[in-house]
Chains A and B, each alone.
Chain A
């Protein structure tokens, strides 16, 4: 039912196809043979295009394209409707080869037919076919695994690999991968000839490898390693071990031969038993010439006795110890000599290592020092601590003494040969080697030394000693003498990288130690673990002394080659490199008062390490600079003071005159006029300011009319209490030009001021007339516009002795003195005569200044400033309130303007 339906569908499809073709739905003009070819690269390929009648063209209209038009010389016209083309196939050849015809009209499709070229290479022959069958359980696995080397060309076409086997009974095959494959033969054909080959095929051909023919399939077997490998020792054979094992596969399959290898535990140098000794199919073997009391590792493997096939893997490790034997070599005896400070003796520490051929565990040592008794040193340690350094004995040896040390090592089987060592007198030590050097190579530290020229023949061996500087760990090894030539040896101990060691070579003269030659050394170097810690020990204005400590030896990790000092101010960094033995340095040419950051870098050949930063500030002034400046200033000031004092002393009289000018005798004074222009020439501005508003009152001693009425009316102004600037005046103290002084005129206090002053002698009176409190200077005379000054001229100072009679006279002759100016303050206790005397100072007009407030009436005070403000009651007033009539010669505080 199903099959018939399927056939019906197929018939319907074919009928439709025929109908389409006949109805012209698919117009075909020709075809190409062969269709969809797979072409071989490097060879020629020929295709033929055949035109149908529907093409309405001839062979001459045909042209081929293959990524472009194919040249016509490659065409071959077969007949009027067929043309072939032959092209060489390369990897770059086009994918589509198309047959075309010349179009008859525009837009006509020129293509007739096209074919796709599938390019590729024929299969390549596999090489180096090899196969293996492994053991499975107690039999040989029937699965044969093979591998081979395929071709090296790219497989552009689908390629099939097939592995074939043919034994005496049957032939099998199995598809494989490109380079490996397997065949399950169900039963491995032991003792049968077996042929194996690989066949490689693709659409361009087929090729097979060389046939691998083995006369016996067992030659392809890799068995398991031998089983149950055990080692047995026998006490009477300390240098022998018996190895036993069990074969991995039954004897029925094939005979085996074996390989045995062994080594001491910890060693990787395997020793192999000669193959001839184990060719026979045995299951045990006795290893000989081993070291006593040594743990050995043994491994065994096997393969077909014929030698064809594959070795099995090595068996698992089997380990065992050989029995003990008595030591067959001397113990390694050595000493450390430490000189005692301040004493002529040495402290000797005797130590040893087990004999190289201890042949057992050393139980004790028997030591004898010089002529002393023999002492036994028991050794208690575990099995793994052999060849450790054992401190045996310590004694003190005088510098002029010599000691012979003898040592025997004992184990459970006997005593070793005796070792001896002689420590010579301190002053009689044999010479050292001539020179010593070292280098590292392939992770080892090699030491090279040159023997002493004269004593080289006496040297029996050398002791190469190394001491860790960090922890003081010491070890040594013995080196044979190499004639009189230089000797070279590497240190066989476990040196640590980046640790400093002191390496010494001792020449041994028949057991007597010579002087050592010691050099520091590193197995490997790198940058120091820490950097130098720098600090500033002294800091100046432009320099700073840096100090740092040497890096501890166990942290140097290499030889310090140099130190580099980096110091930074702001963003500017500078560096200085100093030698490795420098631990202080003075930075110079620094900027004063600046902040510096400094650090020191220690360098080895393998790297650098910075120390911590240290910050310091340079001084603003150098030490002593401030003190110097202060001293200079003080000296200058002192000099100035001294100069002033000297000057004052020398010019005392002149100064005195300046300060206390001679007072003219009023009795000799006359009234004189002077030109007001005189001072104005000196200071016109002050004249305008000061004198422009000055009202000059005509002073007429003899004429009471000289004071105009307005001025008299203005006198009551003095009654007002107001603060005024007191001006001393050389002219009877009435000048407004005196130094400003706050005061309250006492003369205003009493209503009798007018009466009092009426009896005083008034030399002159100067009244500032610029408006003051409504006072308008009135032209009381024609001279108001041009102020004139009247003064009394006197060249004789008023003396008390003279004044008093005058006062008395004044009281009797009132006509002689008229109260002219009430502005004058009456000094305490002073009579009018006193006032006259006080005002007898000619006054200095250069102090005559006017204040903006206008006229200020000032008093003339002979006292100092401080005392000028004292009230009369304090000093000059009598207890009854009367003024003290103390005559005074009143100096003027300031000089007066030259008149």
Chain B
């Protein structure tokens, strides 16, 4: 699935890049976020020596599905927005937990990429909010109460982190596609 997602991203990147309209910038931002998430996931795999074939067990953490055919495009974007807020909450929890685990160790590429994904996700949330013209807050929507009762540094915690990163990658990819559909819907063309 990851390879397929990567292929889709590359296909999209080969397309003319949007950038002039709000939807176009949101699509580009989602693509950039997906690139950052993929990079972060790669860094984590390298750091934890995880194979790219390895898929952690368990259901999706963010179970919202914007691709339901019964939902309209605006609703799908709304769902996407919610999912991204949850992703941001998860990432905040992840950062918090890993920072506690690191206890003042120097910041490396992974930590820097992690911060970049967080900021980029915040940018995407803001852009999506503008597209939705909603007053809903862009703050993280997660309490960091789940999956945190394990032993710090334990395999379970790492798997949780891995799942969160996969979830981020997935929703970033989903966002780029959904927003691109929105862009095409609103602007009438792929090239903006």
Binding site for B on A (CB under 8 A): 139, 167-170, 186-187, 189-192, 215-216, 218, 250-255, 281, 305-306
Stretch at the interface among B56-64, B117-125, B161-169: B117-125
Q: Which 4 A-B pairs have the closest CB atoms?
A: A187-B119, A168-B126, A191-B29, A255-B17
A705 CB → nearest B CB, Å = 173
A192 close to B17 (CB less than 8 A): no
Residues of B within 8 A of A252 (CB): 13, 28, 31-32, 35
Size range of the chain B interface in the assembly: 20 to 34
Contact with A along B1-17 (1 / 0, CB 8 A): 00000000000011011
B121-150 interface with A by 8 A CB criterion: 122-123, 126-127, 130, 138
Q: Which of A169, A187, A305 is in CB contact (< 8 Å) with B116?
A: A187
CA distance A254 to B14 in the complex (A): 11
CA distance A117 to B89 in the complex (A): 56
CA distance A746 to B137 in the complex (A): 176
Q: Which of B17, B35, B123 is in CB contact (< 8 Å) with A189?
A: B123
A192 and chain B: residue at smallest CB distance: B123
Q: Which of B16, B19, B35, B122 is in CB contact (< 8 Å) with A191?
A: B19
A191-B123, A253-B32, A255-B17 given. 17 additional CB < 8 A pairs?
A168-B122, A169-B119, A186-B115, A190-B28, A191-B26, A191-B28, A191-B32, A191-B127, A192-B29, A192-B123, A215-B25, A216-B19, A254-B17, A255-B16, A255-B19, A306-B19, A306-B20
CA distance A189 to B121 in the complex (A): 11
CA distance A254 to B25 in the complex (A): 10
A281 close to B119 (CB less than 8 A): no
A138 and chain B: residue at smallest CB distance: B39
A251 and chain B: residue at smallest CB distance: B13
A281 close to B123 (CB less than 8 A): no
A253 and chain B: residue at smallest CB distance: B32
B97 CB → nearest A CB, Å = 20
Q: What are 26 sample pairs from A and B whose C-beta atoms fall under 8 A apart?
A: A139-B116, A167-B123, A168-B123, A169-B122, A169-B123, A169-B126, A169-B138, A187-B119, A187-B120, A189-B119, A191-B29, A191-B32, A192-B25, A192-B126, A215-B20, A218-B19, A250-B35, A251-B13, A251-B14, A251-B17, A252-B13, A252-B35, A254-B28, A281-B17, A305-B17, A306-B20
B25 close to A216 (CB less than 8 A): yes
Residues of B within 8 A of A187 (CB): 115-116, 119-120
A256 and chain B: residue at smallest CB distance: B17
A186 close to B119 (CB less than 8 A): yes
B150 CB → nearest A CB, Å = 30
Q: Is the interface of B mostly helix, strand, loop or mixed?
A: helix
A280 and chain B: residue at smallest CB distance: B16
CA distance A218 to B130 in the complex (A): 19
B25 and chain A: residue at smallest CB distance: A191
Residues of B within 8 A of A190 (CB): 28-29, 32, 120, 123
A259 CB → nearest B CB, Å = 19
Residues of A within 8 A of B20 (CB): 215, 306
Residues of A within 8 A of B119 (CB): 169, 186-187, 189
CA distance A386 to B180 in the complex (A): 59
B42 CB → nearest A CB, Å = 13
B38 CB → nearest A CB, Å = 10
Residues of B within 8 A of A255 (CB): 16-17, 19
Residues of A within 8 A of B19 (CB): 191, 216, 218, 254-255, 305-306
CA distance A305 to B127 in the complex (A): 21
CA distance A170 to B120 in the complex (A): 12
CA distance A301 to B102 in the complex (A): 43
CA distance A167 to B127 in the complex (A): 11
B127 close to A168 (CB less than 8 A): yes
Residues of A within 8 A of B120 (CB): 187, 190
CA distance A218 to B122 in the complex (A): 17
CA distance A34 to B17 in the complex (A): 62
CA distance A255 to B16 in the complex (A): 8
A220 CB → nearest B CB, Å = 13
Q: Which of B16, B26, B32, B127 has the most CB of A within 10 A?
A: B32
A574 CB → nearest B CB, Å = 88
Residues of A within 8 A of B130 (CB): 168
Residues of A within 8 A of B126 (CB): 168-169, 192
Residues of A within 8 A of B138 (CB): 169
Residues of B within 8 A of A170 (CB): 122
Q: Which of B17, B26, B120, B127 has the most CB of A within 10 A?
A: B17
Contact with A along B29-66 (1 / 0, CB 8 A): 10110010000000000000000000000000000000
CA distance A189 to B125 in the complex (A): 13
A218 and chain B: residue at smallest CB distance: B19
A217 and chain B: residue at smallest CB distance: B123
A717 CB → nearest B CB, Å = 154
Q: Which of B19, B28, B138 has the most CB of A within 10 A?
A: B19
Q: Which of A167, A190, A215 has the most CB of B within 10 A?
A: A190
Q: Which of A168, A189, A250, A253 has the most CB of B within 10 A?
A: A168
A308 and chain B: residue at smallest CB distance: B19
CA distance A281 to B14 in the complex (A): 10
Residues of B within 8 A of A218 (CB): 19
Residues of B within 8 A of A139 (CB): 116
CA distance A189 to B127 in the complex (A): 11
B28 and chain A: residue at smallest CB distance: A191
Q: Which of A190, A216, A252 has the most CB of B within 10 A?
A: A252
CA distance A305 to B25 in the complex (A): 14
CA distance A46 to B57 in the complex (A): 79
Contact with A along B75-96 (1 / 0, CB 8 A): 0000000000000000000000
CA distance A216 to B25 in the complex (A): 8
B189 CB → nearest A CB, Å = 16
B24 and chain A: residue at smallest CB distance: A191
CA distance A251 to B29 in the complex (A): 12
Residues of A within 8 A of B35 (CB): 250, 252
CA distance A305 to B123 in the complex (A): 22
CA distance A170 to B123 in the complex (A): 9
B127 close to A192 (CB less than 8 A): yes
A225 CB → nearest B CB, Å = 20
Residues of B within 8 A of A215 (CB): 20, 25
B95 CB → nearest A CB, Å = 13
Residues of A within 8 A of B116 (CB): 139, 187
Residues of A within 8 A of B31 (CB): 252
B122 CB → nearest A CB, Å = 4
A324 CB → nearest B CB, Å = 38
CA distance A218 to B20 in the complex (A): 11
B17 and chain A: residue at smallest CB distance: A255
CA distance A108 to B49 in the complex (A): 91
Residues of B within 8 A of A216 (CB): 19, 25
CA distance A526 to B138 in the complex (A): 81
CA distance A573 to B127 in the complex (A): 95
A726 CB → nearest B CB, Å = 148
B20 and chain A: residue at smallest CB distance: A306
CA distance A306 to B17 in the complex (A): 10
Residues of A within 8 A of B29 (CB): 190-192
B33 and chain A: residue at smallest CB distance: A252
Residues of B within 8 A of A254 (CB): 17, 19, 28
Q: Which of B14, B16, B122, B123 has the most CB of A within 10 A?
A: B123
CA distance A250 to B28 in the complex (A): 12
Residues of A within 8 A of B13 (CB): 251-252
Q: Which of B26, B31, B126 has the most CB of A within 10 A?
A: B126
A745 CB → nearest B CB, Å = 152
Residues of A within 8 A of B17 (CB): 251, 254-255, 281, 305
Q: Which of B13, B25, B138 has the most CB of A within 10 A?
A: B25
CA distance A450 to B28 in the complex (A): 70
Residues of B within 8 A of A168 (CB): 122-123, 126-127, 130
CA distance A250 to B35 in the complex (A): 10
Residues of A within 8 A of B115 (CB): 186-187
B14 and chain A: residue at smallest CB distance: A251
A718 CB → nearest B CB, Å = 155
B35 and chain A: residue at smallest CB distance: A252
Residues of B within 8 A of A169 (CB): 119, 122-123, 126, 138
